[in-house]
A and B are shown apart, each in its own frame.
Chain A
Amino acid sequence: MGKPIEITNENFEEVVLKSTDPVLVDFWAPWCGPCRMMGPIIDEIAEETPSIIVGKVNVDDEPELATKYDINSIPTLLLFKSGAVRNTLIGLHTKQDIINEIF
């Protein structure tokens, strides 16, 4: 699949809600240490898992999306299927933990 998609308020519906494939969304911010460490892991998942779409929401730029999905702590991963949140994983996790717990 390649790289994660930058998700914004504008493209959220198109990329996440209308997707027929599962979408993994990483809520992050540049000032957050654990988010910085999880970034490369999310990139790897995007690279290695073609069956899902991977997106990233910078909460600093897109606070409305963070509020809408009640994000209180970052990093938070949400797994969307058919436009609805199916799973949530809060905090820094290894790639294996993410794969085991969220999919």
Chain B
Amino acid sequence: MSGELLRVEGIGKRFGGFVALEGITVSFAAGQLTSIIGPNGAGKSTFFNILSGALAPTSGRLHFRGRELNGLPQHRFVHQGISRSYQITNIFPDLSVHENVRVAAQALTVSYDIWRNRARLTELNARADAALDAVGLLGARGELAKFLSHGQQRALEIAIALVSEPELLLLDEPTAGMGPEETKDMVGLLERLADKRTVLLVEHKMKMVLGLSKRVVVLHHGRLLADGAPDEIRSNPEVRRVYLGQSEGYG
């Protein structure tokens, strides 16, 4: 493992009187796939929203590649190298599949250029196609995104996140709402991604998580409950009590 990429120090988030996260301290090394699991309401989504800048934490600090991220607006997170997908499909429905990815690719370079013809920015087009190819959607590049199947839309979302060449890829339940076939394809895609990138994955499907990840972080009631290799997590009595026991056989 090549050093620490992201360090989370005592992150907490309150919504009024409700404590969604408290005192999360954890660090992620570059180049591995880590899953974040926990029962519903454990604070996984809040944690993700903080890591991607959509929410500001009420306490604690984020260090990414040695730089502090606190106070940075959400749109700057991508420029730092953190990119994400959403639990509920979040694409540009009325744009073509290719344009969905191309527009994400240009965010890092030519956002406010009102003069050049974007069709001539061939490097961006090529990068968009490469990202589509990586998720197996190159064949559908000309279609409107809204006409893709659910599984394809999930893959498109990953291509949108991938095209910025993020150092850290945050995937929020990429297999949500998928059937077994689509899930299998997605797992294949995740395995390929995990070879080359640092990925944080929020997932519900336990078998899949334990098979894919090098490391699993368990949240419960907004706190860090356990952190370790899949085997350790599987045999951790606390985790079994709050999570695995109640969803035995799930996924």
A and B from one complex: no
